[in-house]
Chains A and B, each alone.
Chain A
Amino acid sequence: MEFERREAPFLAPTTDVAAIMRHVLYALVPAGIAYVWYFGAGFVFNLIVAGVFCILGEAVMLRLRGRPVEVTLIDFSALVTAALLAFAMPALTPWWVTATAALFGIVVAKHLYGGLGYNLFNPAMVGYVVVLIAFPLHMNLWIAPRMGDLDYQMLTIAETAVFTLTGSFPDSLSFDAISRATPLDIVKSGLNNMRTFDELRVYPMMGNFGGRGWEWIGNFTVMGGAWLLLRKIIRWQIPFGVLTGLLIPSSIMYFLVPSISPSPGFHLFSGGTILCAFFIATDPVSAATSDKGRLIYGIGIGLLIFAIREWGSYADGVAFAVLLMNMAVPTIDYLTKPHIVGHPTKKRKSGQ
């Protein structure tokens, strides 16, 4: 009898890239539903636009680079980038803004750096930062979250679709009528205008601790993140690092100067902190690889988010913090090489 020749090990691998990416997408579903509930159907349109352009960009780049298109496309990594972009975008965004972010992320940040596995920077964050700088007006147009009792005026699905396609409002509405400052903006400008945090936190937009709507989206994001942790798709080091990196300085500041410092809870649940901790910073390709390295990487992101929010000119700093730490990854990896079993350690060298 003849048998085939193979190399050990002979057992089948336990997982694959597509399964990991699919898990990430599933884990984002609760947060996505919460997002739609609070900010309307715009999120779905953003998701569709980002998804289409990410896959398009990926397919074209794979073809141009002479790589198998079908095999790689089904790894879902482009869709994860699209989903993260959709979460980062304001709920009302004209399609060309989202498309620019998607294409720049996939084409430049991912494929021009060598494709999946070789990109130094998180593609979604690169795309986001590009449009943040290129389209500041649109990127600062945040509508009010669903608040029930207040001057809430939600666009219909049709009106949202029209805005996404044309970038213009229905006749009865204007930019000012529906746009609201985000909680982070309220705090940033309020503190700049010599108000205290206690004064600011009574604003209805500020919700209970992290901003109306935002805190609930945050809760659902945590649920998805916890599921990823349980399924061991992500490890605890990066989320823990990001959250403590932000919590520790914000707690110190809140303790020292409570009047001008947002509470640690506000820091955690406003803006993109939670999404960053569980879904953005945990992108393995652009993160550090060793356990210790990932902890450092996460803490670095947390500290940078705090620094940018506290002293920077942008209200939120997630994207910049992630990109800055992406830059530091090669150094972190170099400095946190684990001790190889059986090799002499520093302690042993000097101790014995």
Chain B
Amino acid sequence: MSSGAATYDLGNLHGGLRLDDEKAASTAVAVQVLPIPQQLILPIQQHVGEPAHPIVGIGEHVLKGQLIAEADGSLSAPVHASSSGKVLAIEPWPVSRRRGDSAPCIVIECDGEDQAIVPVDAPAPFNTLTPDALRQQILAGGIVGLGGAVFPTGQKLMQAATMPLEHLILNGVECEPYISCDDLLMREQAAEVLGGAQILMHALNVTGCFVVIESDKPEAIAAIGEAMAMLDDARITLKQIPTIYPSGGEDQLVQLVTNREVPSGGLPTDVGCVVHNVGTAAAIYRWICDGEPLISRITTVSGPGVATPMNVVARIGTTVGDIIASAGGYTDQAVQLIIGGPMCGKSVTTDDVPLVKATNCILVLNQTRPIGAEQPCIRCGECATVCPIQLLPQQLFWHASADNEDKLRAHGLTDCIECGCCDLVCPSHIPLTASFRNAKARIQELADEKARAERARIRFESRNERIENEKRQREAELAEQKQSALSAGSAAIADILERQKRKHDDQEGDE
């Protein structure tokens, strides 16, 4: 199988959409390496979990690859300098994130030297490390999931290693329109992707790896196939899947490849699988074998609002404005700037936001969906037909409008992957996905509030208990004193009274 025969032996994915892929423009040219920008903006949180803790001071000179913020807490990832230069500031800066518009960033003024930090010791071959040491090592490289979820890879591996695993699945599906960075990565760096797969298999102790690619990427499939023939590793299998959105979602991919459903609220490891993006695998390879932490990535710059759509290798921290300028700048059709793809991305109001580890695409669209033009639901059920989770979006929307948390839970709101398929097919133009996102946030807020109230209650009760205890203790002491006084007899009482009188006199004397 190492020759990379394409297979279609697949499980079922419900619904989904065949979208125009819009990838031709950005895949027409090879990946362009961007020059070092004048300034780098490095958010200290580019991952799921706790923000990293800055360990450099303002004015300090840093080198390329130098650790500038270390992982803080049980779920976190470090940040490294993407080039050499001087730390200008650590301050809030506009970023693209789920909540809020700005976040603390380390601002570095590049000196253009691009001087790299000299590693303490040359990287050891990965197979000489124990899986556990390898996982720790991956964590130190600041590697996070590059498919968009940016879960710290080291911690994902540590969690996965506690479960019985069968398959490592490398996700090269890239099903969202416009995005082609993984496609180009596989075309140009197939050997690194597969090298990463071997490291991951060692770190996870698994013996089988599927590299999964959508059928609309023949060049990537050929490149991976060739690299597999060179590598001759019988553990790695290439799997081709039909082009349908959102087959690249983690749980959807597991379902397609293994025909197993990832349990609600669970992880792919619950069904013996662990999924990593091909970009993550390549980043791991570069870190473990070449000693280069995650300081750059390939990103797609595309859309009708960009003069020359292309894929670029950019340093993490380069502003989106700089990247678009390198891609020929905006066209006069630029209306909307989106970080990520057209289905799951996030729109931003300014191109000052930096490229972060998660940024797989910078999309400039020429139109905006009208707001408020929605009509009543006609119960056509198209949304349910396309939902990959088999939810009933029209029912969810109804309950979301009524803010009925119990019903929302019963109808699987938390299972919604926000793929946006239902929005696209809704003839009434109801913003379903946005309403589900808001409903989730609201439920989360309520839960947070409840947790806060619970903590306050516990604190209050423990305070009451403490006061009660102290009171009881005082009473007990008093009783004991009384008891001992009684047992000591009248002489002792006189003695005590005398002592108290003296004390009293002393106090008066002091005044």
Contacts and interface: CB of A to CB of B under 8 A. Distances in A.
B381 A341 contact: no
Contacts of B261: 341-342
Interface in B259-318: 261-266
A68 to B, nearest CB: 10
Contact of A116 (B321, B338, B378): B378
B217 interface: no
27 contacts: A1-B334, A4-B336, A5-B348, A6-B371, A7-B347, A8-B340, A8-B433, A9-B342, A9-B424, A10-B369, A11-B177, A11-B342, A11-B343, A17-B378, A20-B427, A75-B375, A77-B378, A115-B376, A116-B375, A117-B379, A235-B381, A289-B381, A340-B391, A342-B263, A342-B265, A343-B415, A344-B263
Interface in B416-462: 418, 420, 423-429, 431, 433-434, 437
Nearest to A7: B434
Given A9-B420, A285-B379, A3 B388 contact: no
B242 interface: no
A19 B382 CA distance: 14
Given A11-B343, A338-B392, A339-B390, A284 B369 contact: no
Interface of A: 1-17, 19-20, 71-72, 75, 77, 115-118, 235, 284-285, 287, 289-291, 294, 337-344
Ranked nearest first, the 10 interchain pairs of A and B with the lowest CB-CB distance are A9-B420, A117-B376, A7-B434, A342-B264, A284-B380, A3-B337, A340-B412, A289-B381, A9-B343, A338-B390
Contacts of A338: 384, 390, 392
A337 B391 CA distance: 9
B369 A12 contact: yes
B270 to A, nearest CB: 9
A8 B264 CA distance: 23
B93 interface: no
- Name, among A2, A14, A235, A291, the residue most crowded by chain B CB atoms within 10 Å (CB to CB): A14
Interface SS of chain B: loop
B14 A341 contact: yes
Given A3-B350, A291-B385, A341-B390, 13 more contacts: A1-B330, A1-B350, A3-B337, A4-B368, A8-B347, A8-B420, A9-B344, A9-B420, A11-B343, A17-B375, A116-B375, A342-B261, A342-B265
Contacts of A11: 19, 177, 342-343, 420, 424
A4 B337 CA distance: 8
Interface in B321-376: 321, 330, 334-338, 340, 342-351, 363, 365, 367-369, 371, 375-376
Given A2-B349, A8-B343, A118-B376, A13 B429 contact: yes
B385 to A, nearest CB: 7
Given A11-B424, A343-B264, A3 B380 contact: no
B282 to A, nearest CB: 27
B376 A290 contact: no
A342 B262 contact: yes
B33 interface: no
B187 to A, nearest CB: 26
Interface of B: 14, 19, 177, 251, 255, 261-266, 321, 330, 334-338, 340, 342-351, 363, 365, 367-369, 371, 375-381, 384-385, 388-392, 394-395, 411-412, 415, 418, 420, 423-429, 431, 433-434, 437
Contacts of B264: 340, 342-343
Contacts of B351: 1, 3
A28 B232 CA distance: 62
A10 B378 contact: no
Given A8-B345, A8-B346, A343-B415, A290 B375 contact: no
A17 B428 contact: yes
Contact of B344 (A8, A19, A284, A344): A8
A10 B381 contact: no
Contact of B335 (A3, A12, A17, A116): A3
B415 A10 contact: no
A232 to B, nearest CB: 8
B255 A341 contact: yes
Contact of B389 (A1, A17, A118, A342): A342
Contacts of A289: 379, 381, 384, 392, 394-395
Contacts of B330: 1
Contacts of B266: 342
A115 B350 CA distance: 42
Contacts of B389: 340-342
B368 A117 contact: no
B347 A5 contact: yes
A15 B425 contact: yes
Given A117-B379, A284-B378, A290-B392, A14 B369 contact: no
Nearest to B337: A3
A116 B391 CA distance: 23
A3 B348 contact: yes
A307 B19 CA distance: 45
A10 B342 contact: yes
Contacts of B371: 6
Contacts of B350: 1-3
A13 B423 contact: yes
A341 B415 contact: yes
Contacts of B394: 289
Contacts of B384: 289-290, 338
A115 B388 CA distance: 30
Nearest to B383: A289
A145 B334 CA distance: 62
Given A338-B390, A341-B14, A8 B365 contact: no
B345 A290 contact: no
Given A10-B345, A10-B347, A118-B376, A340 B415 contact: yes
A72 B375 CA distance: 8
A235 B379 CA distance: 13
B387 to A, nearest CB: 9
A340 B414 CA distance: 11
B153 to A, nearest CB: 23
A296 to B, nearest CB: 14
Contacts of A7: 347, 431, 433-434, 437
Contacts of A15: 425, 427
B335 A4 contact: yes
A116 B411 CA distance: 24
B349 A4 contact: yes
Contacts of B363: 10
A15 B375 CA distance: 12
B165 to A, nearest CB: 19
B251 A342 contact: yes
Given A4-B336, A11-B19, A341-B261, A16 B412 contact: no
A328 B391 CA distance: 22
A284 B390 contact: no
Nearest to A116: B376
Contact of A5 (B349, B415, B420): B349
Nearest to A67: B376
Contacts of A13: 369, 423-427, 429
Given A8-B418, A16-B429, A290-B384, A1 B321 contact: yes
A26 to B, nearest CB: 16
Contacts of B334: 1, 3
B392 A337 contact: yes
Nearest to B352: A1
B377 A117 contact: yes
